[in-house]
């Protein structure tokens, strides 16, 4: 049975050949010291952790799951030791603020590491990314006093962080939250309310848990404009950052019984006049939390990519070993009673679909991460603004499309294995269960699609798409003299034209009927996802052609990339045509039925 192997070759090719990260990082003073050698060393070590420490406790963690007893949560065997080793290795501080003990590494580097962690053990990975997101939010919006008190211990891995948004009656519509915060004479606050679905809300991995909580002040404006952000520690901390030993009045009421990610504690958290501290300005909590949300949504796309890659590795190895039937064109293995199932076109269809989408999804995730890095590190204000606009457009697509394709890949992997894919010992059924949640949390994919279509496209009148189109035009211009790229670029231009037509159609119709926005949103997200995957494949193909034409020892690897890219263009990209037809059909058939007719 195949075991997970970190996709180091793919990662190196994307970072070095496709995105030229050495040039990007060298152009920004804060990342100039992140050299090729340093990147290679960090990624290789992270791969060893994923393969050797996390993958071996993945299935056992799923079988054992987290246990809840009278407010305490016990993680499965091996998780405490793994988390301690992870923290001692400095991984909790990788992208952190250097002024408080962080290493200041770029998101492009941490993105490939996160994907490997998710592939090896999604439940474990969730504990780590929540802490990363919490520290990011605190470092950008917290006071100097809060940062000095909490960040060093969170970066060291002695403490961990969460985000507490959802309530029993308020999920997507956070303006409905009821958790209240009352100002105290000493400037602190007392928070009361209940939050649900809180990842890592309670566990035994760290000595303290730092909750970032959305709540409302008594005189707050109604709706989302009245939300503030607060820091609420599990154990109280004195001014010097030392635990007082006093437990705060925040407690885990229960953990959820879930379809997957069973070794991740998903908690109901009760705040009973718990001591908290304002992060940022009053009534700006939602905008502050979105600092974290963009990074977390990127991580969910990485979860989809990672589990897809894990599934592909299992399915590919199985297809080359499992013998059933004979090849249509003649016997491949006359010395055996049957040929390996890799000879069958439909098995290849499934494997190539997985492989093509994994590579494009990984590339799209890195492209989005590169824009996060530019918006954070670049010294030119114009470049930072442009990158921020691209992030706003890319993240909803990356989150939704990568998780949809990731779940699809896990199901396809099951299908390649047939009955064995349904059996727990092979690991594919766990991947399916673990991948499913990524389409739901951190903003369900339908909400991401509506955000893309409504806020990022219709409300901006297509301005953000024009910025992306400029990036695409620049790449196309760079390839105009490369003969081998011309047929690929023609396919790219065709799908771009369909996206532009769909955009113009919805912009025109939505002025008369706002239902057109929601009716088109999911198809539009999938159309843009396909166009972006095609854009990524153009960049991969250009780099592969350059490598194939050299004396590089990676020429055969480059040849396999080209064949995979051609499969994408010929077999997967044509769906852009049907998506345009679907979008053009409008909202009428969706909205004519009365509610009682459903």
Question: Mean per-residue pLDDT for 441-445?
Answer: 95
CA distances from 598 to 341, 447, 482, 591 (A): 44, 22, 55, 11
Confidence of residue 334 (pLDDT cuts 50, 70, 90): confident
Closest by CA to 215, choosing from 199, 191, 236, is 191
Is the pLDDT at 2 greater than 80? The verdict is no
Q: What is the DSSP string of 388-416?
A: HHHHHHHHHHHHHHHHHHHHHHHHHHHHH
Confidence of residue 260 (pLDDT cuts 50, 70, 90): very high
Report which of residues 291 and 462 the model is more confident about. Answer: 462
Q: Residue 338: CB partners within 8 Å, gap ≥ 6?
A: 323, 324, 325, 326
Q: d(Cα 264, Cα 258) in Å, to the nearest integer?
A: 10
Angle formed by the axes of helices 555-567 and 515-548, nearest 10°: 150
**pLDDT tens for each residue of 69-125:** 999 999 999 999 999 999 999 999 999 999 999 999 999 999 999 999 999 999 999
Q: d(Cα 445, Cα 437) in Å, to the nearest integer?
A: 10
**pLDDT tens for each residue of 201-219:** 999 999 999 999 999 999 9
Q: Residue 454: CB partners within 8 Å, gap ≥ 6?
A: 517, 518, 521
3-state secondary structure 171-238: CCCHHHCCCEEEECCCCCEEEEEEEEEEECCCCCCCCEEEEEEEEECCCCCCHHHHEEEEEEECEEEC
Radius of gyration of the chain (CA): 24
**pLDDT tens for each residue of 501-546:** 999 999 999 999 999 999 999 999 999 999 999 999 999 999 999 9
Is the pLDDT at 171 greater than 90? The verdict is no
Is the pLDDT at 593 greater than 80? The verdict is yes
Give the pLDDT of residue 551.
67
Q: d(Cα 35, Cα 27) in Å, to the nearest integer?
A: 12
CA distances from 350 to 37, 398, 577 (A): 36, 22, 21
Q: d(Cα 288, Cα 227) in Å, to the nearest integer?
A: 10
Q: What is the DSSP string of 269-315?
A: EEEEEEEEEE-SSTT-HHHHHHHHHHHHHHHHHHHHHHHHHHHHHHH
Q: Residue 353: CB partners within 8 Å, gap ≥ 6?
A: 408, 409, 412, 571, 572
Closest by CA to 245, choosing from 285, 193, 288, 208, is 208
Q: Which residues pair with 277 in a beta bridge?
A: 231
Ramachandran category for residue 237: left, alpha or beta (phi over 0 → left; psi -120 to 50 → alpha): beta
pTM value > 0.95: yes
Supply the residues annotated as catalytic: 442
Question: Mean per-residue pLDDT for 449-453?
Answer: 97
Q: d(Cα 31, Cα 377) in Å, to the nearest integer?
A: 7
Q: Residue 382: CB partners within 8 Å, gap ≥ 6?
A: none
Q: What is the mean pLDDT of the chain?
A: 96
Q: What percentage of the chain has pLDDT greater than the value 70?
A: 99
Both structure tokens of 107: 């998101």
Q: d(Cα 509, Cα 515) in Å, to the nearest integer?
A: 9
Cα-to-chain-centroid distance, residue 243: 33
**How many residues are recorded in the chain?**
598
Instruction: Let me know if 26 is exposed, middle or buried by CB neighbors in 10 A (0-12, 13-18, 19+).
Output: middle
Q: State the DSSP H helix or E strand holding residue 67, giving kind and residue range, or none if neither.
A: strand 67-69
Q: What are phi and psi of 579, to 5 degrees?
A: -65, -40
Cα-to-chain-centroid distance, residue 272: 33
Both structure tokens of 102: 């962080």
**pLDDT tens for each residue of 270-317:** 999 999 999 999 999 999 988 888 899 999 999 999 999 999 999 999
User: Would you call 73 helix, strand, or coil by DSSP?
Assistant: strand
Give the pLDDT of residue 167.
96
**pLDDT tens for each residue of 374-430:** 999 999 999 999 999 999 999 999 999 999 999 999 999 999 999 999 999 999 999
Is the pLDDT at 553 greater than 80? The verdict is no
């Amino acid at each position: 049975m195949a075991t997970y192997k970190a996709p180091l070759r793919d990662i190196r090719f994307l970072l070095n050949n496709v995105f030229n990260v050495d040039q990007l990082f060298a152009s920004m003073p804060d990342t100039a010291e992140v050299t090729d050698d340093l990147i290679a060393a960090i990624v290789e070590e992270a791969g060893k952790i994923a393969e050797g420490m996390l993958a071996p406790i993945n299935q056992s963690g799923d079988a054992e799951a987290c246990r809840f007893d009278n407010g305490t949560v016990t993680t499965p065997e091996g998780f405490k030791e793994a988390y301690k080793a992870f923290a001692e290795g400095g991984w909790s501080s990788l992208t952190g603020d250097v002024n408080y003990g962080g290493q200041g590494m770029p998101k492009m580097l941490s993105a490939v590491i996160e994907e490997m962690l998710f592939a090896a053990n999604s439940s474990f990975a969730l504990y780590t990314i929540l802490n990363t997101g919490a520290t990011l939010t605190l470092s950008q919006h917290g006071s100097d006093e809060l940062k000095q008190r909490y960040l060093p211990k969170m970066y060291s891995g002695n403490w961990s962080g969460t985000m507490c948004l959802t309530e029993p009656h308020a999920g997507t519509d956070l303006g409905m939250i009821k958790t209240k915060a009352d100002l105290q004479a000493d400037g602190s606050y007392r928070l009361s309310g209940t939050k649900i679905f809180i990842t890592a809300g309670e566990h035994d991995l760290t000595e303290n848990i730092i909750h970032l909580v959305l709540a409302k002040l008594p005189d707050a404006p109604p709706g989302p404009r009245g939300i503030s952000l607060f820091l609420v520690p599990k154990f109280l901390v004195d001014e010097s950052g030392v635990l007082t030993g006093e437990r705060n009045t925040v407690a885990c009421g229960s953990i959820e019984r879930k379809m997957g990610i069973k070794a991740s504690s998903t908690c109901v958290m009760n705040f009973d006049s718990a001591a908290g501290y304002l992060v940022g300005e009053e009534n700006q909590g939602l905008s502050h939390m979105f600092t974290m949300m963009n990074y977390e949504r990127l991580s969910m796309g990485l979860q989809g990519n990672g589990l897809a890659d894990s599934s592909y590795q299992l399915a590919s190895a199985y297809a080359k070993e499992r013998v059933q039937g004979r090849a249509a064109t003649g016997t491949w293995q006359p010395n055996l009673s049957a040929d390996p199932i890799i000879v069958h076109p439909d098995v290849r269809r499934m494997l190539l679909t997985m492989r093509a989408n994994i590579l494009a999804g990984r590339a799209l995730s890195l492209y989005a991460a590169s824009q996060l890095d530019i918006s954070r590190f670049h010294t030119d204000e114009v470049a930072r603004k442009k990158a921020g606009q691209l992030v706003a457009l890319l993240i909803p697509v990356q989150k939704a499309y990568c998780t949809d394709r990731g779940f699809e890949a896990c199901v396809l992997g099951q299908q390649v294995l047939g009955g064995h894919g349904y059996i727990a010992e092979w690991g594919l059924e766990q991947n399916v269960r673990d991948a499913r949640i990524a389409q739901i949390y951190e903003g369900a994919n339908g909400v991401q699609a509506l955000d893309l279509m409504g806020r990022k496209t219709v409300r901006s009148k297509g301005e953000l798409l024009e910025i992306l189109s400029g990036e695409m035009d620049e790449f196309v211009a760079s390839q105009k003299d490369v003969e081998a790229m011309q047929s690929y670029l023609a396919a790219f231009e065709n799908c771009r034209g369909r996206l532009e037509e769909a955009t113009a159609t919805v912009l025109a119709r939505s002025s008369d009927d706002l239902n057109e926005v929601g009716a088109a949103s999911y198809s539009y997200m999938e159309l843009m996802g396909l166009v972006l995957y095609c854009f990524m494949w153009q960049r991969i193909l250009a780099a592969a052609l350059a490598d194939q034409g050299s004396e590089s020892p990676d020429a055969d690897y480059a040849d396999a990339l080209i064949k995979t890219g051609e499969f994408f263009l010929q077999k997967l990209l044509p769906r852009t045509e049907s998506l345009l037809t679907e979008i053009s059909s409008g909202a009428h058939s969706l909205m004519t039925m009365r509610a009682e007719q459903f």
